């Protein structure tokens, strides 16, 4: 029960760090509370709504009643399985916009600007263009994470992109390349028809090294002596000793929880729970951010949507084909077209994201009552609302208290109304004329600001992108929790690396940036020089100051 490095959490970031440390020859133990990821419910891309709703694979967290959403409690799924949330997510792959990372650097995360992180995105990827165009010179060719594109064989995927062009928006052949802004194909972490989670990409290869092992257990706290992390205590009393460092990679909810349990956090909060204060860091658990989205649903004139497969017989056939050949509808997450647009003139880079889906369905698998339909998930990317994660007690078995404080700014409501109105305009284009029957949700009757606000309040859902709760910043910043080399400020030999360290949420889905964080953190941990900075310049709309599209 001893290793050079002890990693807490075998999720997206922890798996990547484990792989790089194992490769270096140092000994590494990774602690994971969840179980194995075997079986079709996790490995089959089209089955993505199952693991997210299963207590076996999900921590089952929920927010407290949200004050600005009439007291609704929103699901906050987090992966409790090897691969972490990359084993239960929607497999959508988005790096984020170049300006997101430049903003991080401006906020004190020096060395994490786009020019610094782009080489790590390239190192981690093997990109499969699949005959859909793109920017090969911006993409990785031999990394552990395989990134592919769906076949886009349904006409609706093309109608969505064509409608965007008709509405005057940009097209992009690769939103993960030079140009994020525009309509185009969506990318997925799927390889040879299987979910290509961080467990498949990084953890399983790492465990083949003799110097790498996994320990099952629930973390009670990080052991700290004289301001130095020495190991990890599990809830069953076992102690795992770290000869060199402890690296916390438990995610945006459990990382702050474990720091607080270990006595690292706001001193008043800790003392109130009877926890000995080891480092007074006011930022632990604060700065919680997420993306919200709504599902804009249209009834379809033509019976070409995935609804035709929404029956036991068809699902069985799709499942059988996938089990035998790893091909067919089971081999895609069905998110195969996407868009990133700007909400108004004067916004420098996209602040609205679209996921398009050729069926009208909820994330929990509840299909729209209307039958044949399609939808787009749409939401703003940079909400000013901030929440927090706090402890209820010092019992490690007790779930933390999560308050997102969603929709707490007037700008949130304005942004969502804009999303709905811009989306209606896209669905009204010629390209959709053969397909759109009528609007299922919100419905044509919902038009005024007040009506839209009521709809938003009742129907807005989390996109499951929580982050920011152990913010990275300058060591002198009182709200920063980790410095730009991932060291927890105030405690030696302890690092934290996962989506909790993001100073500000990135554009799009967070799995890509989380894995990149692991790749870059591994170099800091191993004392290596960072990869040479890139001089690639991202595309920014030339007339962004005066034009929305």
Report, as residue numbers or ranges, the catalytic residues: 465
* Torsion sign across C-alpha atoms 149, 154, 157, 159: positive
Q: Is 274 annotated as a binding residue?
A: no
Residue keyed to tokens 């490769």: 23
* Largest Cα span, the chain: 70
Residue pair 415/453 in contact by the 8 Å Cβ criterion:
no
The strand pairing partners of 182, in sequence order, are: 340
Q: Would the annotation count 219 as a binding residue?
A: yes
CA atoms within 13 A on the CB side of 355: 28
Buried b (16+ CB within 10 A) or exposed e, 27-44: bbbbbbbbeebeeebbbb
Check the annotation: does 71 bind a ligand: no
- C-alpha gyration radius of the chain: 22
**E strands of 103-249, at which residues?**
125-127, 145-149, 182-185, 187-188, 190-191, 194-195, 212-216, 219-225, 228-234, 239-248
Instruction: Determine whether the annotation assigns residue 92 to a binding site.
Output: yes
81 annotated ligand-binding residue: yes
For residue 442, say if its preceding peptide bond is cis, omega within 30 degrees of 0: yes
Cα distances from 405 to residues 49, 281, 291, 391, 454, in angstroms, run: 26, 21, 12, 17, 17
| Residue 279 parent element (H or E) | strand 279-280
Residue 14 in tokens:
């922890």
The total number of residues written for the chain in this structure: 549
Does residue 261 sit in helix, strand or coil? helix
List the beta bridge partners of residue 436.
300
Cα angle 406, 410, 415; round to 5: 80
Show binding-site residues.
Answer: 81, 89-92, 219
Q: Which residues are annotated as a binding site for FAD?
A: 81, 89-92, 219
């Amino acid at each position: 029960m001893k290793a050079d490095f002890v990693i807490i959490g075998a999720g997206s970031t922890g798996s990547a760090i484990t792989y790089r440390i194992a490769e270096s020859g140092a000994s590494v133990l990774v602690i994971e509370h969840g179980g194995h990821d075997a079986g079709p419910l996790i490995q089959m891309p089209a089955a993505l709504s199952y693991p997210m709703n299963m207590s076996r694979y999900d921590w089952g967290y929920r927010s407290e009643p949200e004050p600005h959403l009439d007291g609704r409690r929103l699901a906050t799924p987090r992966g409790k399985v090897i691969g972490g949330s990359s084993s239960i997510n929607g497999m959508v792959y988005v790096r984020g916009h170049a300006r997101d990372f430049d903003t991080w650097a401006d906020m004190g995360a020096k060395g994490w600007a786009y020019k610094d992180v782009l080489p790590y995105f390239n190192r981690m990827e093997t990109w499969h263009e699949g005959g859909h165009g793109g920017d090969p010179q911006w993409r990785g060719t031999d990394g552990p994470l395989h990134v592919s594109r769906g076949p886009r064989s349904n006409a609706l995927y093309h109608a969505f992109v064509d409608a965007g062009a008709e509405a005057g928006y940009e097209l992009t052949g690769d939103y993960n390349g030079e140009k994020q802004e525009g309509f185009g194909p969506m990318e997925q972490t799927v390889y040879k028809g299987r979910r290509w989670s961080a467990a498949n990409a990084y953890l399983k290869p790492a465990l083949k090294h003799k110097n790498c092992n996994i320990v099952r257990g629930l973390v009670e706290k990080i052991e700290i002596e004289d301001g130095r992390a020495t190991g990890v205590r599990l809830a069953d009393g076992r102690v795992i000793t770290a000869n060199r460092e402890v690296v916390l990679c438990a995610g945006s909810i459990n990382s702050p929880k474990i720091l607080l349990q270990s006595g690292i956090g706001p001193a008043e909060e800790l003392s109130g729970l009877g926890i000995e204060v080891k480092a007074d860091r006011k930022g632990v658990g604060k700065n919680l951010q997420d993306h919200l989205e709504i599902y804009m649903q249209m009834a379809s004139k033509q019976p070409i949507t995935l609804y035709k497969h929404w029956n036991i017989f068809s699902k069985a056939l799709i499942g059988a084909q996938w089990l035998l050949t790893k091909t067919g509808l089971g081999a895609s997450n069905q998110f195969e077209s996407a868009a990133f647009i700007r909400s108004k003139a004067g916004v420098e880079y996209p602040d609205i994201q679209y996921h398009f889906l050729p069926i009208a369905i909820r994330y929990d698998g509840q299909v729209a009552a209307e039958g044949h339909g399609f939808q787009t998930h749409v939401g703003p990317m940079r909400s000013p609302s901030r929440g927090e994660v706090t402890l209820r007690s010092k019992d490690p078995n007790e779930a933390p208290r999560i308050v997102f404080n969603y929709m707490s700014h007037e700008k949130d409501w304005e942004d969502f109304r804009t999303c709905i109105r811009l989306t209606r305009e896209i669905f009204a284009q010629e390209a959709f004329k053969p397909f759109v029957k009528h609007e299922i949700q919100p419905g044509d009757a919902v038009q005024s600001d007040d009506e839209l606000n009521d709809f938003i309040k009742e129907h807005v859902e989390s996109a499951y992108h929580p982050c920011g709760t152990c913010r990275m910043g300058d060591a002198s910043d009182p709200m920063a929790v980790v410095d730009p080399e991932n060291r927890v400020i105030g405690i030696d030999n302890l690092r934290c690396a996962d989506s909790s360290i993001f100073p500000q949420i990135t554009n799009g889905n967070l799995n890509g940036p989380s894995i990149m964080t692991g790749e870059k953190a591994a170099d800091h941990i191993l004392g290596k020089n960072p990869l040479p900075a890139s001089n690639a310049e991202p595309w920014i709309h030339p007339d962004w100051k005066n034009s929305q599209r």
